[in-house]
Amino acid sequence: MATGGLKRTAQLLMVTIGVTLVVTFIKLNLAVPRPFYLYPDLQLSQASGFSFPSGHTATAFAVWGLVFLWFKKAGYSNLAIWWVPSLLVAMSRVYLGVHYVTDVLAGAVIGTLIVALSQTSAFKARLLSPLFWLAIGVATLPLAATQVQPVFLYCAMFALSLAVALFAMRNALPDRPAPFGKRGFFVTLAGMLVIAAGMGGVAIWSNSSIEILVANSVGFVLLALWLGGVAPKILSRKTR
């Protein structure tokens, strides 16, 4: 992600948020119980929420599909890059008793469609547009206000904050096709780990759902600002 520059970061963020919103919306509205509620002996792992579709499978097919396309662009076209990890995730969800086969099939379709959508010219041209991310954030706000799942709030906060970061950096950040390199990867990852540690620390320390909700919301705001503005700005200086 980071080694490919800001555009690849935006691509990955788009497919991840897209999968999260679509899967969560379907789960909440269809409310299909997980297999272990009907067949307790099947459960080999803890899982919460509803079953259909499989979010892990959808995310795996979307993210690894995107990675495959990046490798393909570099001249290494091997479908195993996409299919092997994605199918392993799908099969593991069924094996652990947390999903039906139909759940993972639906997840695979959703992930594949979203990564295909991310490759259209309409989306590629808008990946670094503040208005694009603003639109995603605004469109997600009604779901955040009406649905019980806080993931909608996190996605809205992230998209709106990323729009702010991209707008603030619109003149400072060139449209760089060149990668940031290994240093870029580790710098970006370090910042993400610090933010994640802060969010995880609050979740462990606090017994208040409100405090955890606020901490996670702030964490996603900081993550968006880091990925969309601060880290690319630091790395663009180092690569000049």
Position 121 scores a pLDDT of 86
Largest distance between two CA atoms of the chain: 59
Phi and psi dihedrals of 127, rounded to 5?
-55, -40
| Distance in Å from the first CA to the final CA of the chain | 20
Q: Using CA of residue 220, residue 224, residue 225, residue 227, what is the dihedral sign?
A: positive
Mean pLDDT, 10 residues at a time, over the chain (240 residues)? Answer: 66 91 92 80 70 93 93 86 94 89 95 92 86 94 87 94 88 53 79 93 89 93 90 68
pLDDT of residue 44: 65
| Contact assessment for residue 16 and residue 194, using Cβ atoms and an 8 Å cutoff | no
Closest alpha carbon to 16 in 48, 53, 62: 62
- Domain spans in the chain, listed from the N-terminal domain onward: 1-127, 128-240
pLDDT given at position 178? 46
| The pLDDT of residue 9 | 82
Q: Are 129 and 78 in contact (CB under 8 A)?
A: no
pLDDT for 238: 54
Q: What is the pTM of this model?
A: 0.83
Written as six digits, the tokens of 83 are: 């299919």
